[in-house]
Amino acid sequence: MNANDQEKHFLGKVKDLLDEGVENINSQTRERLEVVRIRALRSAEEKRPKS
């Protein structure tokens, strides 16, 4: 493998590991993230001027 291929291979491996880390976020944190998202959507809705 040349240097470019080695770097691509390394980055592919890193990306896989990062993706795996995301998939394995525990259920409690996933639920808290869902709450965060709902709160963000609702708070923005409340602050938006009514038409």
Q: Which positions touch other proteins (CB under 8 A)? A: 7, 9-11, 13-15, 17-18, 20-26, 29-30, 32-34, 36-37, 39-41, 43-45, 47-48
The Cα diameter of the chain in Å comes to 61
Least Cβ distance, residue 16 to other proteins (angstroms): 10
Least Cβ distance, residue 35 to other proteins (angstroms): 9
Sign of CA dihedral 36, 41, 46, 35: negative
Nearer to other proteins, 2 or 20 (CB): 20
Answer for the pair 37, 30: CB distance below 8 angstroms, yes or no.
no
